[in-house]
Structure 1
């Protein structure tokens, strides 16, 4: 089979079962490999969409939500690396697996720098892909609740801020800003990254990031300063280790 190695697939297919709720976008221009991956994941119960070039991929990315992306670096029209960058402009957390040829080490470095989570070198076993996806499935099953202080908690999954057992009503952009900051606790997030994520490429001149940060700070005033700025660079949310 072209670009993919045969192995004990029939045995492996019975080892793991999924509930079918995970949506995966496959971007691969090798039609045979694309079909092989798609059929395999469909058999496993995933909901898959497959495309063959970067231009078509962006259309699907703009119109749909996916739980996982599988992207070949060398695809026509718009490269896999550019698709990766596009996704990360508005989504920092959804897992991305890059498919790469064995000699593309420089591209692999660029891919990791721009936010890919895993990679697979061609040719590969279907089991290898399965194992990597299983890791992401296991991670997504773990609900994440971040302890900010003794009486402040933030539920990443529900985007719910709780202070003194009271749920605070946050606006959509406040939720997105707090989420991205807490996903990068004690790390400075670049202003451009924050703007792209929070505003989702909308026009933001009438409601700048600085104002949104100040609005968010009001929830934490009584508990001390948590959100810090680095002029000309970005913002970070500091949580002291207990």
Structure 2
């Protein structure tokens, strides 16, 4: 299982990372909120976020996560005792809140409890699935490694299955807030369609696309 850790205290970051790796987890650690935002789409099964970090705080990172991932567990770790911070954390969809200082064992227990319900494999066909752990698309038992933008688009489609996605929604998520021309979006769609083989991605005229699954 792949975990993203956002903690700007380097010593605590290193301690948590070391302990989680001993437990067999893969850990991507960040000390900066903007760095965490860039990595949200990299196939994580759990997020552990401090609130008071440089550039973009943990609450804003949580909000961004919840725009695209409703089910992936998010644990807030913070020294803050402000009721507003705690309330905001739960209002924006955190699954648990751990106040510093804490025993690392406490965090391990919360991760194990929350992630038991998580499935790293997202099936959208009996012969096809996306593996969040390895960020691989598997079609007819053949592995297809995706580019970063293809992976982000796949993440977005699978969290919004059978829902219409506008060009703007794709631009905001895949290009991470940067401008993307309509032709760039269409080019990315063509590349992913070629990888998928089957016609899962359908065009919604003048609007965007929909990923159709049963």
* TM-score, normalization by structure 2: 0.59
Query: Where does residue 96 of structure 1 map in the other structure?
Result: 74
Query: Where does residue 195 of structure 1 map in the other structure?
Result: 171
The answer (yes or no) to whether the contact 2:51–2:77 under 8 Å persists in 1 is yes
The answer (yes or no) to whether the contact 1:98–1:120 under 8 Å persists in 2 is yes
Query: Where does residue 204 of structure 1 map in the other structure?
Result: 180
Given the alignment of the two structures, is residue 183 of structure 1 paired with residue 189 of structure 2, yes or no? no
The answer (yes or no) to whether the contact 1:38–1:48 under 8 Å persists in 2 is no
The alpha-carbon distance between structure 1 residues 175 and 76, as it changes in their structure 2 partners (threshold 3 A), is: closer
Greater Rg by CA? 1
The answer (yes or no) to whether the contact 2:75–2:98 under 8 Å persists in 1 is no
1:79-118 → structure 2 map (5 Å cutoff):
79-85=57-63, 92=69, 96-99=74-77, 101=81, 103-104=83-84, 106-112=87-93, 116=94, 118=95
The answer (yes or no) to whether the contact 2:30–2:36 under 8 Å persists in 1 is no
- String of CA shifts for 1:32-72, please: whole Å, max 9, x gaps: xx856753553452657463xxxx44347658979554223
The answer (yes or no) to whether the contact 2:171–2:179 under 8 Å persists in 1 is no
Given the alignment of the two structures, is residue 134 of structure 1 paired with residue 112 of structure 2, yes or no? yes
Given the alignment of the two structures, is residue 236 of structure 1 paired with residue 214 of structure 2, yes or no? no
The alpha-carbon distance between structure 1 residues 27 and 160, as it changes in their structure 2 partners (threshold 3 A), is: same
- String of CA shifts for 1:202-230, please: whole Å, max 9, x gaps: 65327333454466557435xxx763638
1:153-168 → structure 2 map (5 Å cutoff):
153-157=127-131, 158-162=136-140
For structure 2, the residue ranges without an aligned partner over 5 or more in a row are: none
Query: Where does residue 144 of structure 1 map in the other structure?
Result: 121
The alpha-carbon distance between structure 1 residues 128 and 211, as it changes in their structure 2 partners (threshold 3 A), is: same
Root-mean-square deviation (CA, aligned residues, Å) is 4.6
Q: CA deviation at 1:107?
A: 1.4
For structure 1, the residue ranges without an aligned partner over 5 or more in a row are: 1-20
Q: CA deviation at 1:197?
A: 3.7
Inter-partner Cα distance in structure 1 for 2:185 and 2:60:
26
